[in-house]
Structure 1
């Protein structure tokens, strides 16, 4: 279990690239596996979560290989032509691939068992079990609707119209993917817009998808028994990974870095808007479109951040970035208030309590509320750091580990975390990139 101390650093300089977007990488592998013929994927994130998706799709009948130049080639089996896996699908730490694959297999006529690591096995799956059961799939889950669980797909499944009770791109995507092999039209009603990578990419792969409005809410319809067509997918840089370097540059004096090719999808880039609201100097250079997704190069310079009340409607577009936003808030001038973040309690860890404990240990002033944190900033002064012999508990959560690593860069005595191993689930090159940018 590799513990590590992150020390205060010199300014972050130069130009860096962050790994490919995790959400888009998962979907590229899945949808290419459902297209008949060969798709190619460039820029795929090669973290443990995405590799778990690749492994699962191989077990379901797709032929997936990585070429020496880093391009991935996928020979798909076709919608409705997946095969029953011979053994349990081990999803590791990946909640995204678990929920999306449950949707995909819900309309195939066979059984599959899903397992995962200790962290994933504590995460709730009832939110996808509920709509998929309405479509005819049946489930045997562990107590509390968690993994391990067995799914029996329905063939044919029944199309439904499902109104999301909680803003969740994963639940939306699970229902739409179940709709791919369901005769008729499956509809999802979204009261609050969530990340739309599934819709964008399914349309590119040739699915019949319509997006409209009903009573002021987003209505997404998909026509089943789809034929997907192979594509060449270029995966943009992950805004969730870029967020750690954006915040690091904002809080370390003298920093001026450029992060290349960052996905700027409006349903994902909330962290940029929130940090700008706090006074962050983040410039978008050469905004462009890559593979149906908006991207830009981001130039980020050290800024005197101010506390702010973060609009809860931003939450779905930056839900994974709140841990590192809390770090920025801890070094801002004044008080930052966040609310509407109950979803953070059921991530890889309870990220509200984990970050409240971690930042308090490092010397920040934090109040934990039911649905958010109130953070009183230092006004730009370094955090004291973790006392000698104490370690931040990362609770097997990659984003806690990386966020507190960033906090260490702007601390007096450094921040020690108990385990950096989870970082490789989403950002295997984090430590090397950080070392390179802060020399």
Structure 2
């Protein structure tokens, strides 16, 4: 558990950078390439700890995956070609890996066990195992199938109609994968307006999904074919540099080739509502859109964030909270109870750590209230083992009047292995 000392007072922030590939898409590209027929080539894959955990899980199930000349090459086994792993499938800190694998493995004819790190093993899994049980899945886990480790005896699944109680891309994706293996037609309704990388990518791999604003329909027994996948830069990683550009006087940044999927761009809507000087140049519009983001220092005003936009920026709320400390007025974040079941309780962690730095911020049952404009003073803070809390605090060091000491900074490698190198590249 390493600690680093950061002091960025009186520095100039200017330049351009390219953030790593999108974590959500990288996970899915490996998963779908593994169960497709043929060879998939993935470019700009995120080599963070979470995505490497996904890759290792599929290698344990007999998939040949190569890292060659900067690309990931996946030699697909077909949707029923995976083999029973001889060892536990270790998913690390990755909820995406664990929850999507629960959906896939429940419909394959072998036994497997999923386990994660201490943090992941305390995150809820019943939101996936409960609907899978309705499809006939056989799983056994701690706390009545709610916590990892979970063992799975794959079986023939039956299609269901299921209404999602929470807007969760991971739950939705697990049920779509289970639906591909089930007998019949699976219909998913309810709160389906979360990130849609699974739907977009599966279509690229040849799956047919019927989708509208109210439901997703998946027919069982489909086969997937290989694809070439370009992974755009992760907007959740870009968010930290968007914040940096907005809150450091005189800052000017260009962030290149960032994913612009509309289910993920809530942070752009929020910072514009706050008066942020952010412009977007779209390079590709079809499939997974991406483009360049231009950011300049801005005089910001408070806003209210709630309702339908929350699923579009749930991972960006920690850095939005930091931005809000530098906005005139009081920013209110509501309807974000999902933050409590992330890598840590992010409501509690954000409020605790920013308060140490002198921010006027308070937690609510479903979000937080941030009073601006605040001067931050520096001090000793903790990541809580959460990569997004760690990066948020590192950005905070640029507006602190004293040194910031960041404990357990290594967890940032989960999603952004070269974060500090990229940060250094734009500091003058």
TM-score bracket, normalised by the shorter chain, equals over 0.9
Question: C-alpha separation between the residues in 2 aligned to 1:172 and 1:192?
Answer: 7
SS of the residue corresponding to residue 112 of structure 1 reads strand
1:86 maps to 86
SS of the residue corresponding to residue 334 of structure 1 reads strand
1:220 maps to 216
Question: C-alpha separation between the residues in 1 aligned to 2:61 and 2:178?
Answer: 15
| Contact 1:91 1:116 (8 Å CA) reproduced | yes
2:324 maps to 329
SS of the residue corresponding to residue 324 of structure 1 reads helix
1:184 maps to 184
Report deviation, 1:429: 0.8
Aligned residues: 426
Question: C-alpha separation between the residues in 1 aligned to 2:158 and 2:12?
Answer: 57
Q: Aligned-residue CA RMSD in angstroms?
A: 1.2
Map of 1:47-58 to 2, 5 A cutoff? 47-58=48-59
Question: C-alpha separation between the residues in 1 aligned to 2:152 and 2:314?
Answer: 28
The runs of at least 4 consecutive aligned structure 1 residues that moved more than 3 Å come to none
| Contact 1:281 1:301 (8 Å CA) reproduced | yes
2:173 maps to 173
Map of 1:14-25 to 2, 5 A cutoff? 14-25=15-26
Report deviation, 1:192: 4.9
2:34 maps to 33
2:409 maps to 420
1:356 maps to 351
| Contact 1:32 1:39 (8 Å CA) reproduced | yes
SS of the residue corresponding to residue 402 of structure 2 reads coil
Q: List runs of 5+ in structure 1 lacking aligned partners.
A: none
Report deviation, 1:329: 0.5
SS of the residue corresponding to residue 55 of structure 1 reads helix
1:339 maps to 334
Q: List runs of 5+ in structure 2 lacking aligned partners.
A: none
Report deviation, 1:15: 1.1
Map of 1:117-196 to 2, 5 A cutoff? 117-143=117-143, 145-154=146-155, 156-196=156-196
1:238 maps to 234
Report deviation, 1:356: 0.2
| Contact 2:192 2:215 (8 Å CA) reproduced | no
Relative to structure 1, the CA distance from residue 192 to residue 286 in structure 2 (aligned partners, 3 Å threshold; closer, same or farther) is closer
Q: Does 1:265 align with 2:246?
A: no
1:252 to 234, 248, 251: 248
2:376 maps to 383
Question: C-alpha separation between the residues in 2 aligned to 1:242 and 1:162?
Answer: 34
Report deviation, 1:262: 0.6
* TM-score for the superposition, normalised by structure 1: 0.95
* TM-score for the superposition, normalised by structure 2: 0.97
Question: C-alpha separation between the residues in 1 aligned to 2:192 and 2:333?
Answer: 18
